[in-house]
């Protein structure tokens, strides 16, 4: 694979963080309150709509460009391409449904379905990436944060807590770091060969790093 794959993925996730932070700076009251709203609040207000669009649109664009660079038929890289493609589709659906979810209940429910699907996908993908990267302790911490965010989000939707934005930051942030690490690790065939399920992943991965 071409080394730009990891760079493109990183550009996308950095864009998400930067423009989401800009949204909060422009209007912190949408999410930083006792009963937190979600990121989607920024997509339906003129003051933050452009920054919100870039926050979701740029990760989708850069992930799409990264996926197009993966042409190898090897299993790990092929799965990464599928992961990126699925991520792009779910992000775009979530973004587009944001603009209309306030019109009626049906559109709101559809937006919730797309957003929930993205959250579930990120959690499942994070588990795969943790295993593929060799089950290292640092990646385990990221996975734990991601799963914690997922649980908090479920409890928020159940009405037990009201910290939707906080849970979205946890899930998307941990997923983003794991995604960048996975994309960069997959850029060479040698390192990509270590990205297979099994108890020996960590040993192979560490050996490749030492040789590098």
Q: How far apart are CA 177 and CA 111, in angstroms?
A: 25
Instruction: Tell me if residue 135 falls in helix, strand or coil.
Output: coil
What tens digit of pLDDT does each residue of 146-178 get?
A: 999 999 999 988 878 888 899 999 999 999 999
End-to-end CA distance of the chain: 17
The CB density around residue 132, as the number of other CB atoms within 10 Å, is 25
- The pTM of the full predicted model, rounded to 2 decimals, is 0.85
Residues 34-60, mean pLDDT to the nearest whole number: 91
Residue 211 has pLDDT above 90, yes or no: no
The CB density around residue 35, as the number of other CB atoms within 10 Å, is 9
Query: Which pLDDT does position 202 carry in this prediction?
Result: 44
Query: Which pLDDT does position 188 carry in this prediction?
Result: 59
Instruction: Tell me if residue 163 falls in helix, strand or coil.
Output: strand
What tens digit of pLDDT does each residue of 88-145 get?
A: 999 999 999 999 999 999 999 999 999 999 999 999 999 999 999 989 999 999 999 9
Residues 53-78, mean pLDDT to the nearest whole number: 91
Query: Which pLDDT does position 191 carry in this prediction?
Result: 40
Distances (CA, A) of 180 to 47, 78, 90, 177, 184: 30, 16, 18, 5, 6
Q: How many residues does the chain have?
A: 212
Percent of the chain with pLDDT over 70: 85
Residue 86 has pLDDT above 70, yes or no: yes
The distance between the two most distant Cα atoms of the chain, rounded to a whole number of Å, is 58
DSSP for residue 36 = B
Task: Provide the mean pLDDT of the chain.
Answer: 86
Of residues 81 and 77, more confidently modeled: 81
- Burial (CB < 10 A; 0-12, 13-18, 19+), residue 149, is buried
């Amino acid at each position: 694979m071409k080394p730009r794959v990891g760079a493109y993925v990183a550009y996308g996730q950095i864009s998400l963080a930067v423009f989401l932070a800009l949204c909060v700076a422009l209007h912190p009251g949408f999410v930083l309150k006792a009963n937190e709203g979600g990121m989607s609040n920024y997509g339906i207000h003129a003051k933050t709509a452009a920054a919100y669009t870039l926050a979701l649109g740029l990760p989708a664009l850069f992930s799409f460009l990264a996926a197009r660079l993966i042409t190898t038929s090897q299993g790990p890289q092929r799965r990464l391409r599928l992961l990126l493609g699925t991520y792009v589709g779910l992000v775009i659906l979530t973004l587009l449904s944001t603009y209309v979810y306030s019109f009626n209940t049906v559109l709101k429910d559809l937006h919730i379905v797309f957003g929930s699907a993205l959250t579930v996908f990120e959690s499942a993908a994070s588990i795969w990436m943790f295993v593929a990267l060799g089950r290292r302790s640092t990646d385990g911490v990221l996975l734990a944060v991601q799963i914690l965010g997922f649980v908090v989000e479920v409890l928020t939707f159940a009405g037990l807590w009201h910290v939707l934005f906080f849970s979205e930051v946890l899930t998307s942030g941990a997923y983003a770091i794991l995604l960048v690490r996975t994309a960069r690790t997959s850029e060479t065939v040698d390192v990509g060969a270590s990205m297979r399920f099994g108890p020996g992943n960590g040993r192979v991965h560490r050996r490749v790093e030492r040789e590098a």
